[in-house]
Chains A and B, each alone.
Chain A
Amino acid sequence: MEGVILDRQRSVLIVDHSEETCEVLQTALQRRGLQTFVASRARAGLELARRHHPDLIVLDLELDPAGPEDVTAHFFEQSQADHAPLVMLGSVRREETGLAGGEFVPKPYHYAPLVRRIEELLDTSSYPLARAD
C-alpha cells in the first residue's frame, strides 16, 4: 500500500450483526487509511451501500432474520454495479448462494488474514492504480 497515492479515500462497508466484529474491522481498516461504514442490519447496510458506493463490502451471512429474504443477492447486485468486491463471512458454500462471484470466508476466521485479503482485493479492484513499474 505504501507509496500508492490515492485521489480519494477508499471505503469499506461492514455489515455484521456482531458489534465486536464491526468494531475490530473498523479499527483495523481505519488505521490503514480506509473510510468505513458500519451497519448491523441488512436493510441499513443496503441503504449505506446505495448511498456511498463503497469500494468493498464485507457481509456477514448470519444476519438476523429481520432483513429481506434474498439479502445476499441484493448486496451482490450492488457490488457488481459498483465494481466493489463482496466478501462474505459465514459457513455457507458458494453453491448454496447461487452467486457467480464474491469471496467466501468461513467462520470462525482469523482477522489478520481477513484484513490482508481486504487490502489485496482493494488493490486489484476498480482502481487501476498507477504502479511504479
Chain B
Amino acid sequence: MPSLFVIRGNDQGSRFELEDTAARLGRDSSGAIQVHDTEVSRQHAEIRRIGHDYTIIDLGSSNGTFVNGKRIEQHRLCSGDQVQVGSTLMLYTGPSDEPDEGLQQAIRIATSQQVDDRSQIIHSVTEEEGSRIFDPGADSLQNPWLARARSNLQVMYRTALAVSHTLDIDRLLQRIMELIFEWVDADRGCIMLVEPPNDELVPKVRRTRDGIRGDDRITISKTILDYVTERNEGVLTSDARQDERWDSAASIVQMRVREAICVPMRGRYDMVGVIYIDTSTPPQEIIRQGGANKFTEDHLKLMVAIAHQAALAVEDTRYYSAMVQAERLAAIGQTVATLSHHIKNILQGIRGGSYLIELGLSEHDETVVDKGWKIVEKNQSKISSLVMDMLTFSKEREPDLAVANINQVAGDVIELMQVRADEMQVDLHWEPGDPMPDLVFDPEGLHRAVLNVATNAIDAAGESSPPGRVAVRSRYAADKAVVRITVEDNGPGIPPDQIDHLFSPFVSSKKSRGTGLGLPVSQKILNEHGGRILVDSTPGRGSRFVLELPAVIPQAKSQTSTH
C-alpha cells in the first residue's frame, strides 16, 4: 500500500496510507491526510492515482507544496520522494510492484535429496576477502593504468563496505577519511556536514598525515566552499595562484594552499556536507619533482564518487534514526493514552465513591456511606495493582525466590477472583494438581501472573452468551521437571491477528477495562523464572493459557517434599 510517512512536524511518526483514487491533504479534518500544521492550508494538496502512479497536485495552497525541496504545482511521485507542506516533511513510498506469482514456481530451493543438480562448491569468498580481489597483482607493474583502475575500484569497494557496516555517522565519516588517506597523499583532511538550525557546515572529522603537526589548524577558503556548495561540483585546485577563478579571493594565496580537493557530499535529496583534503609541497620538493601535482583529476573524480556514497549513508542513517525516533514517540503516545484512560476511569470511580459517602453522611444513612466506601476501596486496589504492574514491567528484577506451593498460590487467586466471577455469572472451577511438591519460586510474582491471566479469562467468559466458564488446573510434570498452570475459558477467543500483540505492553483489547499491562507483566514474571506462557485460542470457542515454569525442588527437603 503506497503511503506518506511523516518524518518531521507535529504528526511525526504518522503514516497515511493512500487507499483511494484521490486523497486530500490539508489541515481540514475531512481530508484523508490531516496534517496538524498551521502553515498548511485547509485544502492544501491532493494525491491522485492515475493508473499505477500517484501524482501530487497543489490546490492553490498559500505556502506551496514542495517535492524534494522544489516547489511544484503537480508532480508524479516516486518512492523515496520527500513531500514538504508547511513545516511537515513526509516520505512517499510507492506501491510495491505486483508480486510475481510465477516467481515462486520459477525458482525452487532444492534440498540435498532432490538431486537434479550436482553442483558442488569449489570456491568461496568472505566479504573480507572480497575487498582484496582488486589488490594490484603482479601484472600491475606492466600496466600502470590497470593498476590504477584496480586501486580505484578497490577504494570504491571498501567505501561501500564501510558504509554498510555502521549506523554511527561519526564512525562512518572517520572510516571514510581513513580510506581517503590510505589512498591519496594528502596532508590534512576534514569532513563537514550541513547541520540545523542554520544549515551551516559543521566540522565532523579532521585528520592529518602522520608527521604533520596535529595541532595545525585547517583553514578552508570560504571561496572554495561556496563554489562547491552552490554549484554542487567538486573542485581541484592544483595551484591556487594559477587558477584565475580564485584570483579575487586572496585568502588562498595567503594560506599558501597549493593543492586541495573539495567535493560536495550529494545525497538523494540534498547536499549533506563536503569533504576537503589538501596537501602542501615544500619548495625544495617542487624543484626536485618539477612541480606539485600530488592530486590529479582521477583523484577528484574518485573523491566525488566516495563523497556520494558517504552522503547516501549519512542520509540513510539519519532517516533510520528519524524512523526509530518517530516509532518511539508513537509508542510513548500510545502508552500515555492507555494509562490516562485507565487512570481517568479509576478517578471517576473514586469520585463516585466519595460522592456517595458525602451523600450518606449528609443524610445520616450508613448504608450509602458503606456503598461509597466499598467503591473507593475497590478503586484504591485498582490503583495499587496498576502501580505494581507498572513497577514489575518497568525494571529488570530478580524473582524473590522462596519455598512455596503452587496450589496454595493459585488457590489464593481463585478465592480472590470468586467475587468477580460471581458478579459476571461465570462458573470458576479450580482443580489443584496432586501431587504438588513445594517448589522454589517467587510466590508474589506468580500470584500476580496467575491473577492477570485469570482476570482476563473471567472477563472473556463473561462475554460469552452460554454460561461463562473458567477452569484453572495445576499439574506437576516430574519427568519434564516443570509445573503448569492452565487457565481455560469459553469466551469469544482471540482473533488470529491479535495473538501477536497479546504480550505487547499497553495494547488492550478490553478497551476501558484493561491497562494493557496484564499479560506483558505475567509473561515477564514467567520469563524471570525461566518459564513461559503458551496461548491457544479458537475464535468463538475460547482460549487456553498455560503458565509453565521449571520445577525447582528445594535443596534441603528434596527427599521428602514430593510426598
B37 at the interface (CB under 8 A from A): no
Q: Is A108 an interface residue (CB 8 A)?
A: yes
User: Bound complex: CA of A128 vs CA of B511, how far in Å?
Assistant: 41
Interface size, B (range): 20 to 34
Is B368's beta carbon under 8 Å from chain A? yes
CB of A116 to closest CB in B, whole Å = 12
> Could you list 21 A-B pairs, sorted by A, with CB under 8 Å?
A19-B423, A20-B352, A20-B378, A20-B379, A23-B352, A24-B352, A24-B372, A27-B359, A27-B368, A27-B371, A28-B356, A28-B359, A31-B363, A31-B368, A62-B512, A64-B511, A64-B512, A107-B344, A108-B347, A109-B351, A111-B352
Contact status of A108 and B463, CB under 8 A, knowing A24-B375, A65-B511? no
Would you give the 0/1 interface string for A9-23, flagging 1 where the beta carbon is closer than 8 Å to chain B? Answer: 000000001111101
Question: Does A110 sit at the interface, judged by CB under 8 A?
Answer: yes
Does A112 reach chain B (CB closer than 8 Å)? yes
Q: Measuring CB to CB, which residues of chain A are less than 8 angstroms from any residue of chain B? A: 17-21, 23-24, 27-28, 31, 62, 64-66, 107-112
Query: CA separation between A84 and B334, bound complex, in Å?
Result: 38
Of B348, B363, B368, B513, which one neighbours A107 at CB under 8 angstroms? B348
**Docked pose: A31 CA to B351 CA in angstroms:** 18
Within the assembled complex, what's the spacing in Å between the Cα atoms of A23 and B348? 13
Rounded to whole angstroms, the CA-CA distance of A30 and B349 in the bound complex is 19
Q: Is the CB of B352 within 8 A of A112?
A: no
A94 to B347, CA, bound (A): 24
Q: How many Å lie between the Cα of A31 and that of B362 in the bound state?
A: 12
A107 partner residues in chain B, CB cutoff 8 A: 344, 348
Chain B: interface secondary structure? helix
Does residue B443 face the partner (Cβ distance < 8 Å to A)?
A: no
Q: Write out, one digit per residue, whether chain B residues 353-376 have a CB within 8 A of any chain A CB (1) or not (0).
A: 101101100010000100110010
B27 to chain A, nearest CB (A): 15
B378:A110 contact, CB within 8 angstroms = no
Partner of A20, one of B344, B353, B512: B353
* Contacts A62-B511, A65-B511; A23 near B344 (Cβ below 8 A): no
8 pairs of A and B residues whose beta carbons are closest in the complex: A24-B352, A111-B355, A108-B348, A20-B349, A108-B347, A20-B375, A20-B352, A108-B344
Residues of A within 8 A of B352 (CB): 20-21, 23-24, 111
* Contact B355 A24, beta carbon cutoff 8 Å: yes
Main secondary structure of the interface of A (DSSP, over half): loop
CB distance from B222 to the nearest CB of A (A): 56
What is the interface of chain B, defined by CB distance below 8 A to chain A? 344-345, 347-349, 351-353, 355-356, 358-359, 363, 368, 371-372, 375, 378-379, 423, 463, 511-513
- The residues of A that contact B359 with a CB separation of less than 8 Å are 27-28, 31
Minimum CB–CB distance from B426 to chain A (whole Å) comes to 15
What residue in chain A is nearest B347 (Cβ atoms)? A108
Q: Which residues of A contact B372 (CB under 8 A)?
A: 24
By beta carbon, the residue of chain B nearest A21 is B352
B463 (CB) vs chain A CBs: closest residue:
A66
The chain A residue sitting closest to B344, CB to CB, is A108
- Neighbouring B residues of A64 by C-beta, 8 Å: 511-512
B358 CB contacts on chain A under 8 angstroms: 112
Smallest distance from the beta carbon of B10 to chain A beta carbons, Å? 20
Contacts of A31 in B (CB 8 A): 359, 363, 368
Contact B351 A110 (CB under 8 A): yes
Contact A27 B511 (CB under 8 A): no
Q: A117 vs B359: C-alpha distance in the bound complex, in angstroms? A: 17
Cβ contacts under 8 Å, A20 to chain B: 348-349, 352-353, 375, 378-379
- Contacting residues, chain B, for A65 (C-beta < 8 A): 511
Q: For residue B354, which residue of chain A has the nearest CB?
A: A111
| Chain A proximity of B540: nearest CB distance (Å) | 14
Docked CA distance A27–B375 (Å): 13
**Nearest-Cβ distance from residue B148 to partner chain A, whole angstroms:** 70
B528 smallest CB distance to A (angstroms): 33
Query: What separation, in Å, do the CA atoms of A65 and B512 have in the docked complex?
Result: 10
Question: Nearest A residue to B512 by beta-carbon distance?
Answer: A62
Find chain A residues with CB under 8 A from B363 CB.
31
CB distance from B379 to the nearest CB of A (A): 8
Task: Report the bound CA distance from A66 to B511 in whole Å.
Answer: 11
Residues from chain A with a CB closer than 8 A to the CB of B511 are 62, 64-65
Given the complex of chains A and B, what is the CA–CA distance between A19 and B358 in angstroms? 19
Are A18 and B345 also in contact (CB < 8 A) when A27-B356, A65-B511, A111-B351 are? Answer: yes
* Most chain B beta-carbon contacts within 10 A, residue among A18, A21, A27: A27
